[in-house]
Structure 1
Amino acid sequence: MTQSMVRGEGTQPDVPGALGPDRADGGPPRDEEAADGDGSGRGRGGRALRGPGGGRRRVLRWSASTLAVLILGTASAGYLYYEHLNGNLRKGQRSSGDGKARRSQPNAAGQTPVNILLIGSDSRNSDANVALGGSRDNRGNPPLGDVQMLVHLSADRRSASVVSIPRDTRVAIPQCTDPATGKVYPPVTTIINESLARGGAGCTLATWEKVTGVYIDHWMTIDFAGVVRMADAIGGVDVCTRQNVWDRPLPGVPGGSGLKTTAGTHKVRGKQALQWLRTRHAWGSDLLRARAQHMYLNSMIRTLKGQNAFTGTGRLMDLAEAATKSLQVSEEIGTVKKLYDLGTQLKTVPTDRITMTTMPNVPDPLNRDHVVPDGADAEKVWRMIRDDVPFDDKGPAAGGTPHKAPDTPAATPSVPAARLGVIVENATRTSTGAAVRGRASAIGRELVAKGYGRATADSSAVPSEDETVVRYPSADLRGDAQRVAEALGIPADAVKQSTDVSGVTVVVGADWREGTTYPRQTAPKAGDLPGTSDAINGSDTGQCMDVYAPYRW
């Protein structure tokens, strides 16, 4: 409406400084202008004189102009605030390591799940973080990822699953390149929290993909100061202990978060919220710290839902300001709009369909202070995420919308079986035990018996693999790889193209430790989590932490 009025005003005589049909100074027409005329109702220059409705028209014009200014001003302020929030965000490369995970297949409705890696950094590289995190001696050191959780949002957006990997879990960290410096870090086997210092959050993401086989879409990191800022913006989160707790240094046991509260439910905010999330000794172990963190997150989600944070403008602005100042995110979600869209998808999940867990683990045989993934139980959790099977049993009977078959139609082999060179690798080693001796040779002999006379076993040591896979380097060998998989009973979705191999390669994983025909795998069912995963439902308000006796008061 405003633009059309401006165009209309532009048809008036071109008078320097004119404001429209009235005087340039905005005042009413002079008396002589009103009195002058030829009896036709028109004044000098042929302009229509103001009749009885002229004042109303002028008021309407001024009202429209004022409204236009207000709209533009508000829009400009909104745009500037939006740009301000975008300016707060720090962004980084999604992956800086050698990840091999494939994206999830869409379900029958064409929907795909979303996987987000949350990383809590112990960085002391600011005054605020030093004040909150302890030792100044660590200032300037690369940060460690002491808290790591994978959030899986189901394809139908009806459930969410969260899995923590304890910080002291020994894993294989792949080669990573620091995107800021270009420094290349070689592969190493060490505890997972060191991955953040070997190429940033993108290296931690690549490590998770290697450990889990789950494709991870995004990452977010937050440091000590960010946790405090977010806890204050939310207004506090309810947590509970069954005894009085004081996490403090004790003789022979230095450190401690400083958390001190009486038994019962308390609302923690600011620094005290950070203390709750960092407490370890008072709960008895790092594994129990993960449980306390899950309780906090569940309570936080319930709090945000109760505040209508996504619909109340004031609350949304407060949270947006705090979040954009607190978070660093992977670049593909590096705008406020994309983060908001992601948040609204998470908002649709009912709290009783959010399940928090910890990766099943066992003591590390090489170091009693560390843990390693608990083979079959850990793999079951990762497979449930890869297959988009809910951690709870409150959804549809089948556990969700069925997935499409992978888009890998059969291809024509390039050469007869007898002429195809096939390499067989033994990757049956697990986190708790050595590889099964002779597996590559046994499967190689089986292939020879099936007509693959050029199949040979690779005797060199190879990284462990949880699942058996057939890899091929280029599209022209896809049909050959599919035929090899079929000969051994390996499922079609385990045939994958990879630049890591020079020819068709059968990688015998830890899921095939005996026999010469690949064992039929039972698909996991909704809610069928291993008992070792320490699952907590998001609607459970009765959760309360037990305090290890030395830290009671």
Structure 2
Amino acid sequence: MSGPTGGLRVSQSSVRGEGAPAHAPGGIPGAASGTPGTVPGPRGPRRLRGPVRPAGRRGRRVLRGIAIALSVIVLATAGAGYLYYRHLNGNIRTDALNLGDHKLGGSRPNAFGQTPLNILLIGSDARDDVKNQELGGAKDTFGGTPLADVQMLLHVSADRSNMSVVSMPRDTLLKLPKCTGTDGKTYEATQGRRPVNESLGRGGPGCTVATWQELTGIPIDHFMMIDFKGVVAMADAIGGVPVCVKQNVYSRNHEGKGSGLKLAKGTHPIKGIQALQWLRTRYGFEDGSDIGRAHAQHMYMNSMARQFRQNAKLSNPLKLHSLAEAATKAMVVDPGLDRIDLLYDLSVELKKVPTGRITMTTMPWVGSTSWSGKVEPSTADAQKLFTMVRDDVPLDGKPPAKATAAATTPPPADPAAPAAEIPVMVRNATSGKDHGEARVRGRASDVVALLTGKGFTKAKADTEGAAEDTTVIRYATADQAGDAQAVATALGLPASAVQRSTDVSGVTLFVGKDWREGDKPAPPAPTPSKAPDTARPLNGDDDGACMDIQPGFTW
């Protein structure tokens, strides 16, 4: 294989002893390449078509691009040798992708058969070994339940023309879903709202994935998680990442709390522990909140992406080996990314996106009225952002790139059976996900009558309730896809309302909050064409971004 690869690196963490857990993002892919990659599918990742080098040549040649990308950030290693293939595979740890009950079936292909890619990057504040404990935090947190103090959803468009990153503040309050760990222990859904970073302690990263999926309705294909020591090791292996501060900054208050970051005004390349300090800094940046910290992390990630593009070739074998070792030892991934070749293929997909089409955002939020210092998703703007990602709309306001000649039209959907032969279960989900309104009594039966009048004589009302903001049709197996689409067409629902899901056994219509009355759901609001300003969008080519400094933290 030829051609340098870049990598996506991100990593974050926080020190609970500061009252501000750490974070640490990283970079994003390097230069273009024609090497085949993978795309998610209903049965897991599938390899894109293209030449495959015989395994016997792996030990004789150094690849310039084994990318080991992300995990809250993670990094991509540009070029470890397949000489270390087995060894590096042994470094990679895995955990379950989704521990919740609600599992979506994957992203919908576009008209050309291309599929979006959604990866959740998770930064753990775990202090469960000496190396992590040496990097900070109050001693009373050592060995405690880890928190997912950095959470970023990375969305790569179906046509690979653009990439969106959505951060969620660690202090966001959500109702956490029921999760069952791989050890069989079950954590029931929370009755009230809890900080989203607690999701990691409810069985593992798969519960954080389940939490995001329930909130956003975005199918998540993979996750990558990293801890403190991984951030430092990978930052050392990479070199330096330029960052900018508008004034001298020292992140330490009169109580001794803070990351310890000390920088003079201007631009400086940072690495190692100093990079971890940057990514963890809350006291000293902007208003001293987690929101400012997320903005600093976005600057770091964009800067790293540009560094990879400018220095696309890493030729020092020792540096390559160090980078590969650091990345593979630092990560926990889902089973779909548990080998070097799968990570490499993923990096090939990521690096297709030019830095000028990368948009970093923070989930729009409002201050909580019930819990001081915490935030909640902004009902309107957060949903706009999630809808754009779910519908594969670029956040930068630019149109997707035109499909290439290589794109192929997907095979036709499974043909539908006659309407009278399609069993349809109808559930009343009219309360909405926030349960802000009581369900409309008898609504499932009303819609069954409507379906029966359209020829779906096997439609039945389900006694089990549900909660959905918008009406959706879910189906379980590929041979039910055409039947589900036939129901949507009969009701005038868009194709995006049809989803494959393991939550159902057959075609199931969830009558949502948007259809509390009448013969059809309320028309959806038009999909926004650009990320709302409240998401603080930051373009990957913006090399003039510089952090504002909080009063009282200068020297």
1:119–1:222 CA contact under 8 A, matched in 2: yes
Return the offset for 1:457. Answer: 8.7
Deviations 1:3-43 (A, max 9, x none): xxxxxxxxxxxxxxxxxxxxxxxxxxxxxxxxxxxxxxxxx
Give the Cα separation in 2 of the matches to 1:95 and 1:416.
30
8 Å CA contact 1:220, 1:329 repeated in 2:
yes
Report the 3-state secondary structure (helix = DSSP H, G, I; strand = E; otherwise coil) of the residue aligned with 2:372.
strand
Residue equivalent to 1:140: 143
Alignment of 1:341-352 (within 5 A): 341-352=345-356
Paired residue for 2:470, among 460, 467, 471? 467
Matches of 2:397 and 2:427 in 1, distance apart? 42
1:212·1:382 contact (CA, 8 Å) conserved in 2? yes
Structure 1: gaps spanning 5 or more residues: 1-70
Residues 372-391 of structure 1 mapped to structure 2, 5 A cutoff:
372-391=376-395
Is the Cα–Cα contact under 8 Å of residues 167 and 191 in structure 1 kept in the other structure? yes
The secondary structure found in structure 1 opposite 2:328 is helix
Counterpart Cα distance in 1 of 2:174 and 2:472:
20
Partner of 1:269: 271
Deviations 1:145-185 (A, max 9, x none): 10011111122222111111111112232222222x33222
Of residues 256, 259, 280, the one that matches 1:257 is 259
Match of 2:282 in 1: 280
* 1:125 equivalent in structure 2: 128
What is residue 324 of structure 2 aligned with on the other side? 320
**Matched ranges for 1:520-531 at <5 A:** 520-521=523-524, 524=527, 527-531=529-533
Cα distance, 1:474–1:447 mapped onto 2, change above 3 Å: same
Q: Are the equivalent residues in 2 in contact too, given 1:485–1:492 (CA < 8 A)?
A: yes
Following superposition, the deviation at residue 89 of structure 1 comes to 1.8
1:427 and 2:431 matched? yes
Question: Deviations for 1:363-410, whole angstroms, at most 9, x for unmatched residues?
Answer: 233323222222232222222222222222445478999996993643
- Identify which of 331, 334, 340 aligns with 1:330: 334
Kindly indicate which of the two structures has a greater share of residues assigned to helix.
1
Assess if the C-alpha contact under 8 Å between 2:103 and 2:502 holds in 1. no
Shift of 1:224: 0.6
Residue 82 and residue 258 in structure 1: after superposition, are their counterparts in 2 closer, same or farther (change >3 A)? same
Q: Specify whether residues 469 and 427 from structure 1 end up closer, same or farther in structure 2 by C-alpha distance, changes over 3 A only.
A: farther
Deviation of the 1:535 alpha carbon: 0.4
8 Å CA contact 2:99–2:207 kept in 1: the answer is yes
Match for 1:319: what amino acid? L
**What does residue 307 of structure 1 align with?**
311
Distance apart, 1:299 and its partner CA: 0.7
Q: Which residue of 2 aligns with 1:410?
A: 416
- Aligned partner of 1:31 in structure 2 is none
The equivalent of 2:69 in structure 1 is none
- After TM superposition, give the deviation of residue 116 of structure 1 in Å: 1.3
Post-superposition CA distance 1:182-216 (Å, at most 9, x none): 32222224221111111111221122111111111
Aligned in 2, Cα 1:347/1:502: closer, same or farther, shift over 3 Å? closer
Q: CA RMSD in A?
A: 3.7
> What is the CA-CA distance between 1:82 and the residue it aligns to?
2.1
**Conserved 8 A contact 1:172-1:211:** no
- Please report how far the alpha carbon of residue 461 of structure 1 lies from its aligned counterpart in structure 2 after TM superposition: 7.2
The alpha-carbon deviation at position 533 of structure 1 amounts to 1.1
Deviation at 1:341, TM superposition (A): 2.2
Greater alpha carbon shift after TM alignment, 104-113 vs 238-247: 104-113
Are residues 267 and 427 of structure 1, via their aligned partners in 2, closer, same or farther at CA, if it must alter by over 3 Å? same
Counterpart in 1 of 2:107?
104
- Distance (Å, rounded) in 2 between the aligned partners of 1:336 and 1:427: 45
Q: Does the 8 A contact of 2:416 with 2:483 survive in 1?
A: no
Cα deviation, residue 484, structure 1:
6.1
CA contact (8 A) 2:427 2:462 kept: yes
Q: Are the equivalent residues in 1 in contact too, given 2:125–2:148 (CA < 8 A)?
A: yes
After TM superposition, list the pairs within 5 Å mapping 1:57-206 onto structure 2.
80-179=83-182, 181-188=183-190, 189-206=193-210
Q: What is the Cα deviation at residue 235 of structure 1?
A: 1.0
User: Would you say how many aligned residue pairs link Structure 1 and Structure 2?
Assistant: 473
Is the 8 Å Cα contact of residues 425 and 459 (structure 1) preserved in structure 2? no
Q: Distance in 1 between matches of 2:511 and 2:114?
A: 32
Q: Unmatched 5+ residue regions in structure 2?
A: 1-56, 63-79
Q: Does structure 2 retain, via aligned residues, the 8 Å contact 1:240–1:266?
A: yes
Using the size of structure 1 for normalisation, the TM-score is 0.75
Q: CA separation in 2, counterparts of 1:157 and 1:476?
A: 29
Deviation at 1:245, TM superposition (A): 1.6
Within 1, Cα distance between the matches of 2:59 and 2:476? 58
Aligned residues of 2:430 and 2:469 also touching (Cα < 8 A): no
Paired residues of 1:473 and 1:504 also in contact (CA < 8 A): yes
Which letter does structure 2 place at the counterpart of 1:391? L
Q: Is the CA contact (8 Å cut-off) linking 1:414 and 1:479 kept in structure 2?
A: no
Q: In the alignment, is the contact (CA less than 8 A) between 1:125 and 1:139 conserved in 2?
A: yes
- Match 2:239 to one of 235, 241, 246: 235
Aligned equivalents of 1:84, 1:137: Cα separation in 2:
35
The one of 225, 228, 231 aligned to 1:224 = 228
Partner of 1:339: 343
Percentage of matched positions with identical amino acids: 49
Q: Which has the larger radius of gyration?
A: 1
Aligned counterpart, 2:249: 245
AA matched with 1:95: N
How many Å separate the matches in 2 of 1:408 and 1:72?
41
- Cα deviation code 1:278-334 (max 9, x no counterpart): 111322211121111100111111112222146775654332122112222222211
Shift of 1:539: 0.5
Q: Deviations over 1:515-547 (max 9, x none)?
A: 65313335536x511221110000101111111
Q: 348, 370, 375: which is aligned to 1:366? A: 370
Q: In structure 2, how many angstroms separate the alpha carbons of the residues matched to 1:202 and 1:295?
A: 28
